[in-house]
Homo-oligomer: A and B are copies of this chain.
Amino acid sequence: MTETVISSHSREVVIGFDRPFVVIGERINPTGRKQLAAEMAAGDFSRVIRDAEEQVAAGAQMLDVNAGIPLADEPAILARTVELVQSLTDVPLSIDSSIIAALEAGLSVYRGKALVNSVTGEEESMEAVLPLVKRHGAAVVAISNDETGISHDPDVRFAIAERIVQRAADHGIPASDVVVDPLVMPIGAVGQAGRQVFALCHRLQKELRVNTTCGASNVSFGLPNRNGINAAFMSMAIASGMTSAITNPLHQEIMTAIRAADVMMGHDPDCMRWIGRFREPPATGADGSEGRGRRQTRRRRVTG
């Protein structure tokens, strides 16, 4: 039973085979969000604050923080964003950049044990990112592609994941601190994308014994009713052994699918979290006041 512990200064989150699924909020990311990118580059973090608060309220147990803005000083902006988000919430963060100096800057201000997002199976990436992860005592997302790109063969992707885990061990990072991303392709473009990921999640848990994550929203790219696809994908991935995902917790269908999947996996003992969230409130009192049950249900909704 593998457990990956990620922490802030005051809170721990455990990603694990026998744990509730961990949702990592994807919203603090200027990629494809022009307005957010312009604001962050100009030093306006109001939208970052809103994104952080809303995602935690919706049930994200962690937040991904990315500051990838073309031509901007990414290391400085990422560090500032990490500090800001940590001042707002105690959920642990995933520090997300493809630039080593930005990861370094984010990690150097981070309080706790971060999740570094990400290393790939490329030599250059492994030799730059893994020493950084080790030095900061962090965990790391390992993406199963290498210099040859993303293979359509699940066996090749598994082998790359295995290689990263081995290299991490060479650097003194245990397998429990490597969270593998098996890579989720858009199902509209790659018809076998779902089966590939489900089979990989199963093997990564049974054979390599590592936790898993993915950028989940990608799977429905280009299709109508994306939340319908994303919700089914999440529960199917959880059934296959996936233990966390970077996704949008503001989409209720997705969160309901994840919570129901936790119930079905036996990760919500006696269904107490499900019942607390969805039980019918008692009828409104004769004086028009809300019953106690309803207030409690609402409070739970906010704190996730």
Contact = CB atoms under 8 A, between A and B. Distances in A.
Interface of A: 187-188, 191-192, 194-195, 198, 219, 223-225, 228-229, 231-233, 235-240, 256-257, 259-261, 263-266, 269-271, 274-275, 277-280
Nearest to A219: B264
A80 B188 CA distance: 46
B256 A228 contact: yes
Pick the most buried of A237, A259, A265: most chain B CB atoms within 10 A of its CB.
A265
A300 to B, nearest CB: 13
A260 B278 CA distance: 24
Contact of A261 (B236, B277, B279): B236
Pick the most buried of A239, A257, A279: most chain B CB atoms within 10 A of its CB.
A239
B224 A279 contact: yes
A235 B265 CA distance: 13
A195 B266 contact: yes
Contacts of A270: 188, 191
Contacts of A231: 231-232, 235, 257, 260
Given A236-B239, A239-B198, A264 B229 contact: yes
Contacts of A280: 224
Nearest to A279: B224
A225 B188 CA distance: 30
B232 A261 contact: yes
A278 B238 contact: no
A266 B191 CA distance: 5
B225 A194 contact: no
A37 to B, nearest CB: 27
Pick the most buried of A240, A261, A264: most chain B CB atoms within 10 A of its CB.
A264
A162 B237 CA distance: 28
Pick the most buried of A191, A192, A195: most chain B CB atoms within 10 A of its CB.
A191
Given A224-B278, A236-B236, A274-B224, A263 B195 contact: no
Contacts of A259: 228
Pick the most buried of A195, A228, A256: most chain B CB atoms within 10 A of its CB.
A228
Nearest to A222: B271
Contact of A232 (B219, B235, B240, B271): B235
Contacts of A228: 256-257, 259-260, 278
